[in-house]
């Protein structure tokens, strides 16, 4: 039976401050053992060091090591204090969901590890310096190694300070989020293309389910499928489709998943339905094991998470406590760039098939309309009373028009533009601001609706015909 998770990981991958400092400290201790062994040979006269490799007598060595130990201890405490201060400022300015970006920074982890390693090395060297009667053991090589390690540690402090200064700037955080998203989009595009190739054949499932219509298969799963319930609660991080598909192909069943990556699942909540129902006992643990839940969202399969991070920064900038319209506008620019990249992502069909086009897994796909709502709904609602943000939103949608690939994408942005104008029509504002918003709205509607007219796409009933008629809003 597969390993069914019973608890959640408390940290996101790569964000722990323990592995790198621990490894560097262990290496420092091992290196100390090597150098102290060489110094012991020198003390016994079986090995000779160059004359220049000396720090003086035992008093000089103890004075030097005492000073190094105090300096390293002070800076180590300073690094911890600065790191906590930066984390606190980052959580306030960018939100706690972006903390993983700062905790994952290798420069900070290496600098912290070097100072901890230097502390252990200096402490061990200080203990090793001793005197028995007339015999004085001064490990010259080990002391010089300690000095070198301390110098390297202080050099890393310069890089640490520079990285901290750069990482807390909004103009550096936003492109970093977009770069992560682009990497995931490239990987997802290939995966979706491979699935589209397999599902290009007529979908079917052999055995007791002689169905060819996927919609009918979904209805049948909802009606007759047996429920698979989650044993824990958390965010869906990764769904291992390949593992699940291989097992369902052998059992000739269909699994209908009810959640996609990024959504929250409660303990005991139904996460999937298995058809035929009698197979749930055998495949239930496999389904639970293939759906990884965690306390944190991540970008591995959750494209909305990057969008949500950009939106969170913008919302904090628009909050009454900060009221930073410029930062919100910067976020809208990068959101537009993210949407431009996602517009070319192939639409998911909600089907994961095995080789030969046999349907084995159904799942709720992430559609372009869902991405648009995640990106702009909260921002649009928070922009009430802020004409500058509304105008910039409308201009951003206008600039996206040439990059859209189908009428549904245009319709999604037209709905957002209409919602902005509906809210503006009910607000009390200066006439000049209303006129600027109207001008931006007209331009946005004209560019986005042109795509629909070129494609011969009928206007959606959810989007009023009056939205295209500017005279109605004059």
Mean pLDDT over residues 23-49, rounded? Answer: 90
- Residue 287 pLDDT exceeds 70: yes
pLDDT score for 203: 47
pLDDT score for 437: 94
Judged on CB neighbours under 10 Å (0-12, 13-18, 19+), 165 is: exposed
Place of tokens 């939100």: 95
Other beta carbons within 10 angstroms of residue 192's beta carbon come to 16
**pLDDT of 131-155, one tens digit each?**
876 788 889 899 999 999 999 999 9
pLDDT band at 296 (very low <50, low <70, confident <90, very high): confident
pLDDT score for 195: 63
Average pLDDT over the chain, rounded to an integer? 83
pLDDT score for 118: 94
Please tell me what DSSP assigns to residue 245.
Answer: H
Q: Residue 131: which H helix or E strand, with range?
A: strand 130-132
Q: Which residues lie closer than 8 Å to 92 by C-beta, 6 or more apart?
A: 316
**pLDDT of 405-463, one tens digit each?**
888 999 999 999 999 999 999 988 899 999 999 999 999 999 998 866 665 554 433 33
pLDDT band at 250 (very low <50, low <70, confident <90, very high): low
pLDDT score for 464: 36
Judged on CB neighbours under 10 Å (0-12, 13-18, 19+), 135 is: exposed
Other beta carbons within 10 angstroms of residue 108's beta carbon come to 24
Which three-class secondary structure state does DSSP give residue 217?
Answer: helix
Distance between CA atoms of residues 181 and 187, nearest Å: 10
Signed CA dihedral, 44, 45, 47, 52: sign only: positive
Q: Which residues lie closer than 8 Å to 87 by C-beta, 6 or more apart?
A: 99, 102, 103
201-208 long-range contacts, Cβ below 8 Å, gap at least 24? 201/356, 201/357, 202/357, 203/351, 203/353, 203/357, 203/358, 203/359, 204/357, 204/358, 204/359, 205/252, 205/254, 205/358, 205/359, 205/360, 206/252, 206/358, 207/252, 208/252, 208/276
Q: Are 215 and 255 in contact (CB under 8 A)?
A: no
Q: 118 φ, ψ to 5°?
A: -65, -40
Mean pLDDT over residues 307-335, rounded? Answer: 92
Distance between CA atoms of residues 96 and 190, nearest Å: 31
pLDDT score for 191: 72
Mean pLDDT over residues 225-252, rounded? Answer: 84
Domain boundaries, the chain: 19-168, 383-474
Distance between CA atoms of residues 285 and 304, nearest Å: 28
- Residue 180 pLDDT exceeds 80: yes
pTM: 0.77
Q: Are 277 and 225 in contact (CB under 8 A)?
A: yes
Mean pLDDT over residues 465-472, rounded? Answer: 34
Which residues are paired to 351 by β-bridges?
362
Other beta carbons within 10 angstroms of residue 23's beta carbon come to 12
Which three-class secondary structure state does DSSP give residue 319?
Answer: coil
Which three-class secondary structure state does DSSP give residue 47?
Answer: coil
pLDDT score for 459: 40
pLDDT score for 205: 44
Distance between CA atoms of residues 464 and 261, nearest Å: 33
């Amino acid at each position: 039976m597969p390993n069914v998770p019973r608890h959640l990981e408390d940290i996101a991958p790569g964000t722990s401050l323990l592995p790198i400092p621990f490894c560097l400290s262990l290496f420092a201790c091992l290196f100390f053992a090597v150098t102290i062994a060489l110094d012991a040979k020198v003390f016994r006269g079986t090995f000779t060091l160059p004359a220049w490799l000396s720090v003086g007598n035992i008093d000089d060595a103890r004075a030097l090591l005492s000073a190094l130990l105090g300096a390293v201890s002070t800076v180590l405490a300073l690094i911890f204090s600065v790191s906590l201060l930066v984390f606190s400022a980052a959580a306030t300015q960018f939100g706690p969901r972006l903390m993983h970006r700062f905790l994952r920074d290798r420069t900070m982890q290496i600098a912290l590890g070097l100072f901890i390693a230097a502390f252990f090395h200096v402490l061990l060297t200080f203990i090793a310096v001793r005197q028995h009667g007339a015999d004085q053991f001064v490990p010259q090589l080990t002391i010089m190694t300690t000095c070198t390690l301390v110098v390297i540690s202080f050099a890393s402090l310069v890089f640490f300070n520079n990285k901290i200064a750069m990482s807390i700037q909004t103009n550096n955080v936003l492109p970093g989020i977009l770069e992560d998203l682009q990497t995931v989009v490239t990987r997802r595009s290939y995966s979706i293309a491979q699935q589209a190739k397999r599902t290009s054949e007529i979908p079917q499932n052999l055995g007791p389910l002689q169905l060819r219509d996927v919609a009918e298969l979904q209805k049948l799963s909802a009606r007759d499928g047996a429920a698979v319930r989650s044993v824990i609660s958390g965010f869906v991080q990764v769904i291992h489709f390949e593992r699940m598909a291989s097992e369902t192909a052998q059992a000739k069943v269909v699994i209908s998943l009810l959640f996609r990556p990024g959504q929250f699942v409660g303990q005991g909540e139904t996460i999937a339905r298995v058809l035929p129902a009698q197979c749930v006992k055998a495949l239930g643990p496999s389904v639970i094991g293939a759906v990884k839940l965690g306390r944190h969202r991540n970008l591995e399969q959750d494209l909305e998470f990057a969008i949500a991070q950009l939106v969170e920064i913008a919302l904090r900038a628009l909050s009454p406590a900060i009221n930073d319209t410029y930062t919100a506008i910067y976020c809208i620019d990068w959101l537009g760039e993210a949407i431009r990249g996602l517009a070319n992502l192939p639409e998911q069909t909600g089907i994961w098939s095995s080789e030969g086009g046999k349907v084995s897994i159904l799942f709720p796909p992430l559609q372009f309309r869902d991405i648009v709502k995640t990106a702009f709904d909260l921002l649009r609602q928070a922009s009430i009373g802020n004409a500058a943000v509304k105008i910039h939103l409308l201009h951003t949608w206008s600039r996206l028009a040439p990059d859209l690939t189908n009428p549904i994408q245009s319709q999604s942005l037209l709905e957002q533009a209409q919602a902005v104008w509906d809210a503006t029509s009910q607000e009390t504002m200066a006439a000049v601001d209303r006129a600027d918003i109207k001008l931006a709205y007209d331009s946005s509607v004209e560019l986005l609706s042109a795509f629909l007219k070129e494609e011969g796409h009928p206007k959606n009933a959810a989007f009023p015909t009056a939205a295209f008629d500017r005279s109605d809003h004059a």
